[in-house]
A and B are shown apart, each in its own frame.
Chain A
């Protein structure tokens, strides 16, 4: 029986024992990892020298050819001297020619999505031929060599810098001990390793099975990897880690050749051709043809396409109390009141900081994955509206730059950040990545929630899609605002009577003219007094915040009406809502993103539910539409229906209907209906 002993510098957990049958002859393959212990590797090699036919060595730095000169690591030199009888194989040819070509082709042809065209090599030196080839198709390529070799907190950008580094450090590198016990690459301690963040945000991290042992598994959260080789131990490592996906070169061919280290395959080629001469390039080529080897890129999770795409979203505290939700400023919570007010002012000037992540969103349509980066400003609405818009723009653009560096491809403006100044237009002009206010989906979600509430309550016959219009009356409070306007445009197509209210009469008139032009059959009523038409409206949409909506009592609402509140803070408190059990009072729609979504921070909502404007940003990322989708105060209703379709396509759902008193269950709706029917019997429309 022939024997191949394969020694890898990597983890001992990748060891295996296998017997193959090739051409009627049995070949025993023993593979041992030595847990980064070069002395042990050397000792085992000496021990097995002569006791086996081939000694296959993996995980050593590759031989470097610089200016026609060959440089080998001292461990390789020692092995070459000490191993006398058995044949040494390294798999170098297979790795540097075939594996490299496969990866290069996949990136060029688009088999692997390559959105930012950026790569990060854990060690460019260990995989130099690969780095050299891939450099041409990258916009950005970075190497963590100085850190991996000498713990210098530095990443090299571009292949040229790697070359310079190599030329300078070569004498040291050749002798550097390969004894490595620590998982070095880790983002656990954000401050200490901040230089790692940008390189690790690349589309793909390129590594080899041995280099995997240098990475803290938690750091791989949501990352995509490319490996030039694979073994079963590394497959298990990756499966147990939170990595998004990994692509690795597999030589294909027969089942029994699967996941063998390349050095072992070279050893098999050596044995097959008689075991006399060292393996030549031609032997490899011939064996590839004869054995039907087809090097190809295989995915760890074939169902997950492409890398995780990232989006960013900016939020800010809605009240002074919320400021202290961020762990950084939590200790300041106990300051006395007068100081607190000053603090509020002072905090408004602080630039944004990372707040948390929204992870686990997966499209139900095509399995694309996205991850959200949340940033927070510390300005409360009061401070933000009082501030010079230019100051806020600067803060927002700065955040967009920060997010872009982290790999985000679009940024959404939350809460009051999209109200300041020209609602995102200036920010979008200056930002390195597209910007959206998320208002299209906010509007869509409002109508979505209103429709669902009306359907469930069953008191208003909705005849959507039919030429005959709905006989009911809808009132939009704050109709001249951005969400109010687009709601009015859409609802005017559905309802027979539309009431528009706002503070500014002249704007109301021009909106009325516009609606009448587009919908000649609709009755459009305008008023600046909210309560005037409230008793006759079946559906009321409050599209402005309580402070601006003017005087409006819940007592004036018709029984069985649906009141949908978009504004924040809400127009009615929980107590007020309790006064009218016969009115279905709901908050505008929040969205549940598809997939097992989890938030690492508190944004004031429960579980995995997110604000519609955040959901719009996430959905645009899922759909790969990195464009400034919604900007300025004017929302186009085409955009509203488009984002609604995108939401349905990727499987986003409307979160449970909520009122100021919490989630509204179907039972509560049935109860509300019963109350409404009773109250309607005595109800006299004024």
Chain B
């Protein structure tokens, strides 16, 4: 039985990962900033530690209890558009340094798996290979910069075996739609929801101008699917020496925003065709008025194709889930559990 040290175990992805790992017969030690009750979530061992504190992992008792760790999955990260750059630096860069130091000092030389984000691709278009050497791409915000810094730190840490898994935007679970907060495409759902009242007027026009690029795509995937694939990926990925990068993004080419919006409009029974309004031309104040954080803007004009050949090579049966198959579930959850209860 292999032991996994899972950071961010109480987070959105972390909860699903913990359950999935336990189901696949891993022994899981979860690290969380908050003190967790043993009965919450999956049956795992909890450690309370703040990775961003310089001396959090210096405790000898702690090191003893981690001596048997074979795999570290670093899923803890700060992701919040309201956060300051300093906070990102603290939780995504400094914490990474401390965790890497821990990994370097553990006796079994554990396998290190960093959960990163496709935001590190920065502002670029076209095909984005897993093996591309990054270094001077323009990064859109402090979140992307901090995740990229974490990747580079792992690259330089000289661990014998490691991987970076760049995730697309996580949606709720495809089983019940569970998601704790509004993010990514949900902002659009909220906006469309609020337009319901003006439906009559809008339907007279026939079109609905919305902030998105005509050819832009979003790389979205349900969280439970992400957790499943990461767990399945561990055994084959651990065979490679050095650092291996994976893109786990749902559909390789993404789903066009137009399609996502059409599905949402249909969900609310609005008979309108979305009309693309270039988001970069919209003032930040208007975006805020529409309920969309202006920071999201740069993500609404992406047209990148993420290479998934490493993933397909190591999981030959891998199939990206179709957006239509789970759209209804996640939209209903957000409608019933988030919006109606006043989130």
The stretch that binds B, out of A29-37, A169-177, A308-316, A331-339, is: A29-37
Closest CB of chain A to B198's CB: distance in Å? 39
Residue pair B101, A30 in contact (C-beta under 8 Å): yes
Which residues 195-254 of A have a CB within 8 angstroms of B?
Answer: 217, 232-233, 236-241
The stretch that binds B, out of A12-20, A486-494, A612-620, A650-658, is: A12-20
Residue pair A15, B149 in contact (C-beta under 8 Å): yes
A residues near B105, Cβ cutoff 8 Å: 19
The stretch that binds B, out of A40-48, A95-103, A275-283, is: A40-48
Bound complex: CA A33 to CA B38 (Å): 38
Residue pair B85, A240 in contact (C-beta under 8 Å): no
Residue pair B135, A12 in contact (C-beta under 8 Å): no
Bound complex: CA A639 to CA B104 (Å): 65
Contact size range, B: 20 to 34
Q: Confirm or deny: B11 has a beta carbon within 8 angstroms of a beta carbon on chain A.
A: no
Q: Confirm or deny: A51 has a beta carbon within 8 angstroms of a beta carbon on chain B.
A: yes
Residue pair B145, A237 in contact (C-beta under 8 Å): no
Residue pair B133, A183 in contact (C-beta under 8 Å): no
Q: Confirm or deny: B83 has a beta carbon within 8 angstroms of a beta carbon on chain A.
A: no
Write the chain A residue with the least CB distance to B103.
A17
Residue pair A236, B135 in contact (C-beta under 8 Å): yes
Bound complex: CA A667 to CA B191 (Å): 66
The residue that A40 contacts in the complex, of B86, B138, B152, B158, with Cβ under 8 A, is B86
Residue pair A236, B134 in contact (C-beta under 8 Å): yes
The residue that B97 contacts in the complex, of A32, A183, A239, with Cβ under 8 A, is A32
Bound complex: CA A13 to CA B54 (Å): 19
Residue pair B156, A13 in contact (C-beta under 8 Å): no
Bound complex: CA A19 to CA B101 (Å): 8
Which residues 94-119 of B have a CB within 8 angstroms of A?
Answer: 94, 96-97, 100-101, 104-105
Q: Confirm or deny: A513 has a beta carbon within 8 angstroms of a beta carbon on chain B.
A: no
Contact A241 to B136, CB < 8 A, known contacts A17-B101, A19-B101: yes
Residue pair A217, B136 in contact (C-beta under 8 Å): yes
The residue that B149 contacts in the complex, of A13, A18, A47, with Cβ under 8 A, is A13
Residue pair A240, B93 in contact (C-beta under 8 Å): no
Bound complex: CA A13 to CA B150 (Å): 8
Write the chain A residue with the least CB distance to B58.
A1
Residue pair A17, B153 in contact (C-beta under 8 Å): yes
A residues near B287, Cβ cutoff 8 Å: none
Q: Confirm or deny: B137 has a beta carbon within 8 angstroms of a beta carbon on chain A.
A: yes
Residue pair A32, B94 in contact (C-beta under 8 Å): yes
Bound complex: CA A419 to CA B149 (Å): 59
Q: Confirm or deny: B89 has a beta carbon within 8 angstroms of a beta carbon on chain A.
A: yes
A residues near B136, Cβ cutoff 8 Å: 217, 236-238, 240-241
Bound complex: CA A183 to CA B138 (Å): 9
Which residues 40-98 of B have a CB within 8 angstroms of A?
Answer: 54-55, 85-86, 89, 93-94, 96-97
Closest CB of chain B to A86's CB: distance in Å? 12
Q: Confirm or deny: B157 has a beta carbon within 8 angstroms of a beta carbon on chain A.
A: yes
Bound complex: CA A237 to CA B122 (Å): 14
Q: Confirm or deny: A39 has a beta carbon within 8 angstroms of a beta carbon on chain B.
A: yes
Write the chain A residue with the least CB distance to B157.
A17
The residue that A16 contacts in the complex, of B94, B137, B148, B156, with Cβ under 8 A, is B156
Write the chain B residue with the least CB distance to A34.
B89
Bound complex: CA A431 to CA B136 (Å): 39
Residue pair A48, B54 in contact (C-beta under 8 Å): yes
Residue pair B152, A15 in contact (C-beta under 8 Å): yes
Residue pair A13, B148 in contact (C-beta under 8 Å): yes
Q: Confirm or deny: A568 has a beta carbon within 8 angstroms of a beta carbon on chain B.
A: no
Bound complex: CA A194 to CA B55 (Å): 51
Bound complex: CA A13 to CA B135 (Å): 8
Residue pair A233, B152 in contact (C-beta under 8 Å): yes
A residues near B263, Cβ cutoff 8 Å: none
| 1/0 contact string of B255-295 vs chain A (CB within 8 Å) | 00000000000000000000000000000000000000000
Write the chain B residue with the least CB distance to A240.
B135
Bound complex: CA A462 to CA B97 (Å): 73
| Interface-central residue, A16, A19, A232, A236, by most chain B CB under 10 Å | A16
B residues near A30, Cβ cutoff 8 Å: 97, 101
Closest CB of chain A to B106's CB: distance in Å? 12
| 1/0 contact string of B154-179 vs chain A (CB within 8 Å) | 00111000000000000000000000
Write the chain B residue with the least CB distance to A183.
B138
Q: Confirm or deny: B32 has a beta carbon within 8 angstroms of a beta carbon on chain A.
A: no
Residue pair B133, A35 in contact (C-beta under 8 Å): no
Contact A35 to B101, CB < 8 A, known contacts A51-B54, A217-B136, A240-B133: no
B residues near A238, Cβ cutoff 8 Å: 135-136
Write the chain B residue with the least CB distance to A241.
B136
The residue that B135 contacts in the complex, of A17, A40, A239, with Cβ under 8 A, is A239
Closest CB of chain A to B245's CB: distance in Å? 14
Residue pair B100, A17 in contact (C-beta under 8 Å): yes
Closest CB of chain B to A464's CB: distance in Å? 49
Q: Confirm or deny: A116 has a beta carbon within 8 angstroms of a beta carbon on chain B.
A: no
A residues near B210, Cβ cutoff 8 Å: none
Q: Confirm or deny: A430 has a beta carbon within 8 angstroms of a beta carbon on chain B.
A: no
Residue pair A15, B97 in contact (C-beta under 8 Å): yes
Bound complex: CA A238 to CA B134 (Å): 10
B residues near A51, Cβ cutoff 8 Å: 54-55
Closest CB of chain B to A624's CB: distance in Å? 31
A residues near B148, Cβ cutoff 8 Å: 12-13
Bound complex: CA A348 to CA B148 (Å): 53
Residue pair B104, A19 in contact (C-beta under 8 Å): yes
Q: Confirm or deny: B195 has a beta carbon within 8 angstroms of a beta carbon on chain A.
A: no
Residue pair A16, B138 in contact (C-beta under 8 Å): no
Closest CB of chain A to B335's CB: distance in Å? 39
Contact A35 to B138, CB < 8 A, known contacts A14-B152, A17-B157, A30-B97: no
A residues near B101, Cβ cutoff 8 Å: 17, 19, 28, 30
Closest CB of chain A to B96's CB: distance in Å? 8
Bound complex: CA A247 to CA B117 (Å): 33
B residues near A52, Cβ cutoff 8 Å: 54
Closest CB of chain B to A546's CB: distance in Å? 46
Bound complex: CA A15 to CA B93 (Å): 8
A residues near B100, Cβ cutoff 8 Å: 17
The residue that A232 contacts in the complex, of B93, B97, B138, B156, with Cβ under 8 A, is B156
| 1/0 contact string of A562-576 vs chain B (CB within 8 Å) | 000000000000000
The residue that B89 contacts in the complex, of A17, A35, A217, A232, with Cβ under 8 A, is A35
Closest CB of chain B to A269's CB: distance in Å? 23
Q: Confirm or deny: B308 has a beta carbon within 8 angstroms of a beta carbon on chain A.
A: no
A residues near B93, Cβ cutoff 8 Å: 12, 15, 32
Bound complex: CA A28 to CA B105 (Å): 11
Write the chain B residue with the least CB distance to A217.
B136
Bound complex: CA A236 to CA B138 (Å): 14
Contact A35 to B135, CB < 8 A, known contacts A12-B146, A233-B152, A236-B152: no
A residues near B157, Cβ cutoff 8 Å: 16-18
Q: Confirm or deny: B142 has a beta carbon within 8 angstroms of a beta carbon on chain A.
A: yes
Bound complex: CA A12 to CA B156 (Å): 13
B residues near A12, Cβ cutoff 8 Å: 89, 93, 145-146, 148-149
| 1/0 contact string of A337-368 vs chain B (CB within 8 Å) | 00000000000000000000000000000000
| Interface-central residue, A14, A35, A37, A240, by most chain B CB under 10 Å | A35
Bound complex: CA A33 to CA B136 (Å): 15
**9 A-B residue pairings within 8 Å (CB atoms):** A17-B104, A19-B104, A19-B105, A32-B97, A35-B89, A35-B145, A40-B85, A44-B94, A183-B138
Interfacial residues, chain B to chain A (CB-CB below 8 A)? 54-55, 85-86, 89, 93-94, 96-97, 100-101, 104-105, 133-138, 142, 145-146, 148-149, 152-153, 156-158
10 nearest A-B pairs in the assembled complex, by CB-CB distance:
A240-B135, A236-B135, A12-B149, A217-B136, A17-B100, A16-B156, A237-B135, A17-B97, A240-B136, A241-B136
